[in-house]
Amino acid sequence: MNVYLKQAVGSGYESFWDCRKRYRIVKGGRASKKSRTTALWYIFNLMKFFHVYNTKPCLLVLRRYLNTHRTSTRSELIWAIGRLGVSHLWEIPRGELTLTYKPSGQVILFRGFDDPESLTSISVPDGFLCWSWVEEFFQIHDEGDFNKLDLSLRGAMPEELFIQITATMNAWNSLSWIKKRFFDKPDHDVFTDTTTYTQNEFLSVEDFKVFEKLRISSPKRFLVEGLGQWGSCEGLIYADYVDNPEKCHGEISVDDKPQFISVGLDYGSGTPDSNLGKTVLSAVAVTKGFKKAYCIKESYFNDVLLPDRITAWVKKFILELKSDYKLDIILHCEYASSTVINNALILELQGIKGLKIEDCYKSTILDRIDLVNYLLGQGRLIFTKAVPHVKAGFAQALWDTEKGKLKGIPARLDNGTSDIDILDATEYALSKYSNYLMAG
């Protein structure tokens, strides 16, 4: 089988293809073929360097969450292997993430930034771990985690080899540390590029029509997802949802039977009529394989903050869910085992069959925002008619421009103009399952 490289890869990435700088950072819109070009580069060059230079470079591929590789980077690399007509030369095990080039034993490893400490001592049994690809780079909020990766790629190399980190991403906001470090000032060790769907000659006429519709219906989103420009941390956080709410509104369909219900409990010191934080419950029904999450029930506590009264309120909420859905429920509380209220709650609710009480998983606000934006963008976080405050909370959530500029990272506005408490409760219901939802 004869494969012509230029025909397989296409055009528009010549500088990227030839680059040997330590950092090769590409931001781009959707369908700009940045991921597929990257996958093709690695498969081609892993083989080339062995056969032409008799060296064995190996590749480490990273995403925010380890278990999201299987349907993303791993699939892209397997696609590239097929595209180049060399499937018979690669070992592609079903149960493992590793890919191996049979003639040389070179490996492609997959890891996640959900365990950044594991990156400090990673190695390969044969060859040189000198290349790394970070996909969805924008999701790496902590520069320190990236530095751990950077320091793990080290050591003397054969003359023909070089250490290089390639990162591909959509540039969701301009306050990211990535912009400041790699894009704002020239550095001879850094290659940067911005790509768009117009560089992808493999798109159809219908594909281009989709982008034209996006340009008209959601201009701000088009700048990022279409043209690869930096998004703004001003105004609405979930602007895409506000522009196109219909795909995220609906009731649970017959085909989407939920498997369990996750409930988030956020404590406050006031009532809905006060300016203090509110105590809120928010329930999410999660479908098989974490494909969708339906927001199905909400409740505000409207009484004096006493343990017995809060316990009665939560119990009523849980029992109503059990009656309506007949599903197991996991209740995620702030500090579930360390407060007087929660101790009373556990004692009162421990007899309810199919109920489990856990500490809420408090991921960073930016991670929670990324998750919600990801699910909303795919129409996989759905608001039913029973959650008007949840819908309003996400529709009204704003960036805190001043705080963001002061800290140098995006920040969510929390000054009483939007209902942060209902957002927190809903996010607590989702956060523990972030990696599964991202991979769903």
- pLDDT band of residue 6 (cuts 50, 70, 90) is confident
Q: Is residue 434 part of a domain?
A: yes
Task: Answer yes or no: do 201 and 249 share one domain.
Answer: no
The proportion of the chain whose per-residue pLDDT surpasses 90, expressed as a percent, equals 61
Q: Is residue 105 part of a domain?
A: yes
Taking alpha carbons only, the member of 38, 222, 59 closest to residue 136 is 38
Backbone conformation region of residue 42, classed left if phi is above 0, alpha if psi is from -120 to 50, else beta: alpha
Give the Cβ contact number of residue 25 at 10 Å. Answer: 22
∠ CA 49-79-199 to the nearest 5 degrees?
A: 90
Task: Answer yes or no: do 198 and 257 share one domain.
Answer: no
Q: Is residue 102 part of a domain?
A: yes
Q: What is the pLDDT of residue 271?
A: 53
Q: What is the pLDDT of residue 120?
A: 80
Residue 100 CB contacts under 8 Å (≥ 6 apart), including other chains: 90, 91, 106, 107, 108
Q: By residue range, what is the domain housing residue 365?
A: 242-439
Residue 132 CB contacts under 8 Å (≥ 6 apart), including other chains: 59, 60, 61, 62, 149, 153, 164, 165, 166
224 pLDDT above the threshold of 90? no
Taking alpha carbons only, the member of 283, 343, 351, 337 closest to residue 310 is 343
Taking alpha carbons only, the member of 292, 213, 220 closest to residue 249 is 292
Domain boundary among 194, 225, 256: 225
Q: What are phi and psi of 257, to 5 degrees?
A: -65, 120
129 pLDDT above the threshold of 90? yes
DSSP-assigned letters across all residues of 184-224: SS--TTEEEEEE-GGG-TT--HHHHHHHHHHHHH-HHHHHH
Task: Answer yes or no: do 220 and 257 share one domain.
Answer: no
Task: Answer yes or no: do 139 and 72 share one domain.
Answer: yes
Domain boundary among 197, 225, 253: 225
Regarding pTM above 0.85, the answer is no
- pLDDT band of residue 240 (cuts 50, 70, 90) is confident
Q: What is the pLDDT of residue 41?
A: 98
What is the pLDDT of the chain when averaged over all its residues? 90
Task: Answer yes or no: do 200 and 104 share one domain.
Answer: yes
259 pLDDT above the threshold of 90? yes
347 pLDDT above the threshold of 80? yes
Q: What is the four-CA torsion angle of 373, 374, 375, 378, rounded to 10 degrees?
A: 110
Q: Is residue 246 part of a domain?
A: yes
Q: Is residue 233 part of a domain?
A: no
Task: Answer yes or no: do 209 and 308 share one domain.
Answer: no
Task: Answer yes or no: do 101 and 212 share one domain.
Answer: yes
What distance in Å separates the CA atoms of residue 296 and residue 320, rounded to the nearest whole number?
12
* DSSP β-ladder status, 258-266 and 280-287: antiparallel
What distance in Å separates the CA atoms of residue 264 and residue 424, rounded to the nearest whole number?
8
Q: Is residue 49 part of a domain?
A: yes
- Please give the average per-residue pLDDT across 254-281, as a whole number: 80
Q: Is residue 17 part of a domain?
A: yes
Residue 365 CB contacts under 8 Å (≥ 6 apart), including other chains: 411, 412
156 pLDDT above the threshold of 60? yes
Bridge partners of 316, per DSSP, are none
What DSSP character marks residue 236? B
Q: How many domains does the chain have?
A: 2
Domain boundary among 195, 225, 255: 225
Provide the CATH number for the domain around residue 80: 3.40.50.300
What distance in Å separates the CA atoms of residue 82 and residue 78, rounded to the nearest whole number?
6
Task: Answer yes or no: do 158 and 55 share one domain.
Answer: yes
In the sheet with 381-383, reading across from the earlier edge strand, the strands are: 355-359, 329-333, 258-266, 280-287, 293-300, 381-383
What are the tokens at 217?
């219906």
* DSSP β-ladder status, 99-101 and 90-91: antiparallel
Task: Answer yes or no: do 73 and 112 share one domain.
Answer: yes
Task: Answer yes or no: do 251 and 216 share one domain.
Answer: no
Q: What is the pLDDT of residue 205?
A: 95
Taking alpha carbons only, the member of 381, 47, 70, 436 closest to residue 245 is 381
Task: Answer yes or no: do 195 and 248 share one domain.
Answer: no
Task: Answer yes or no: do 335 and 302 share one domain.
Answer: yes
Q: Is residue 3 part of a domain?
A: no
Provide the CATH number for the domain around residue 407: 3.30.420.280
- pLDDT band of residue 234 (cuts 50, 70, 90) is confident
